[in-house]
Amino acid sequence: MQSIARQIEQLPYPLDKILLVAQDLLCAGVTGPPTNEQIAAAFVLARVELLPPGCDVVEAWEHLDIEWRLYVRHLWQDYRHLIEALEVGAAHQKD
């Protein structure tokens, strides 16, 4: 079985970027200005606290155009195993 990193690398852009940003959010929290990748990553992780500061859920969702919303849904539906692996990995790093 391929490593999680290798599986993410093989995804097309921006799916790979969203999951890499999700990993960064889990490890370092929210940093920098809001980007589509950051907002999508917070939604993929289902973690409202990882949305950019001052951005509520509705504003964040509306910030994403339909294409980015579809990326979020696609990752959630088809790559949930990678999202869960990132969450487990981040939890182990904090221990």
Q: Tokens for 50, please give them.
A: 């990882």
CA-based nearest residue to 83, from 91, 94, 75:
75
Q: Model confidence over 44-86: pLDDT tens digits?
A: 999 999 999 988 999 999 999 999 999 999 999 999 999 999 9
pTM of the model: 0.93
Coil/strand/helix, residue 35: coil
Q: Model confidence over 8-38: pLDDT tens digits?
A: 999 999 999 999 999 999 999 988 888 999 9
pLDDT(1) > 70: no
CA-based nearest residue to 48, from 71, 15, 39, 34:
39
Distance CA 9, CA 85 (A): 14
What are the residue ranges spanned by the domains of the chain? 4-94
